[in-house]
Structure 1
Amino acid sequence: MAPLSLPELEAAFAEMGHAPHQLGETVEQKARELLLEGFRSGDAPRWPDVAPVVEYWALWRLGSAADPDRKPYGDHLYVLSFAGPHPYVKVGRSDDFARRLREHRTNAGRHGYVLFDAWVSEPVESAHTWESSVLRVLRQRHASDETDGEYFYGLDYDEALKAVDEERVWVTPRPARPYPLSTSDAHEHKQERRRELAQHLPPVVIS
């Protein structure tokens, strides 16, 4: 079964009469603590309701980049943290991040893991060099027997983000160029711009 997207999670919570983003950080933190405690004690299935809350917040922080209905734009470096029997961090890149994210969540879910934290870069022309640099640094710092390619078991999520920031300075990824608008899109954009300008222009008075 495919994991629920952010809009789908919001709809599911709405049916229950509440939305996580209206409950505050206290609820999220409590859900995270319960989930981790459940995995540590082996009783995670006892709290199946906390996993959607944790995943909701992870997806919410990703913003529109995680929207499966959004047209892919540029290349992205990403860092995903999964809670489970043996927590791990996945570092990768994709020119269709929303699709790749769903694939990772689907695969993780089959093995009893839950998306716990997630970060994605701004759209860049190419994230290949950035990804390679981050992976090289993490492989040097993390235990080899806890590393499997782009997967780092037991790695602290913040340590992965630290490596991302450090290597950004050296790699300096270039921002991706926006996709050119189609003729119809360009016309609509021009019309919308004219409407916006008209709202701010003073009325013309003919005497």
Structure 2
Amino acid sequence: MPSLGSIYVIAFDSGRIKVGAGADGVRRLREHRASAAGYGVEAIAEWASPPHPGFEVNEQLLIRICTALADRRIGREYFTGLDFDFVQHTAQRMSEKSANRGR
């Protein structure tokens, strides 16, 4: 049976959006919120998919899409110049398609 995990998107008041993946997307969002708060940055929007197969592949695809569309890529998973709703919707569609294929 394939491993399950989540992809997630989080937007910060600094204008950056981070995308990522992990076994527990909700926990990762909580960790990113706490880490950002230590730098005086606040999360203003966030989303995590339900666990689904293929989450690692979805993360890589989401990073490629964000890289192509962003004004700037910072590190591996942080971006500026992206619309949160667009990135979240894209990630959600990926996770739904993967979940349906896994049934």
- How many residue pairs get matched? 97
C-alpha RMSD over aligned residues: 2.4
**Gap runs ≥5 in structure 2:** none
Superposed displacement of residue 122, structure 1: 1.6
Q: Pick closer, same or farther for the CA change 1:100–1:130 going to 2, 3 Å.
A: same
Moved >6 Å (runs of 4+) = none
* Rounded Cα–Cα distance in structure 2 between residues aligned with 1:80 and 1:150: 11
Q: 3-state SS of the aligned residue for 2:34?
A: helix
Specify the code of the residue in structure 2 equivalent to 1:112. G
Q: Pick closer, same or farther for the CA change 1:90–1:141 going to 2, 3 Å.
A: same
Q: Tell me what 1:75 maps to.
A: 5
* Rounded Cα–Cα distance in structure 1 between residues aligned with 2:59 and 2:29: 16
| Contact 2:8–2:91 (8 Å) recurs in 1 | no
* Rounded Cα–Cα distance in structure 2 between residues aligned with 1:89 and 1:162: 14
Which TM-score applies when normalising by structure 1? 0.42
| Contact 1:87–1:154 (8 Å) recurs in 2 | yes
* Rounded Cα–Cα distance in structure 1 between residues aligned with 2:49 and 2:60: 15
Identity %: 29
* Rounded Cα–Cα distance in structure 2 between residues aligned with 1:92 and 1:106: 16
Q: Tell me what 1:186 maps to.
A: none
Using CA pairs under 8 Å that are at least 6 residues apart, name the structure with larger relative contact order, 1 or 2: 2
State which of 129, 142, 155 in structure 1 corresponds to 2:70: 142
Specify the code of the residue in structure 2 equivalent to 1:82. F
Q: Tell me what 1:27 maps to.
A: none
**Gap runs ≥5 in structure 1:** 1-73, 178-207
Q: Tell me what 1:110 maps to.
A: 38
Specify the code of the residue in structure 2 equivalent to 1:81. A
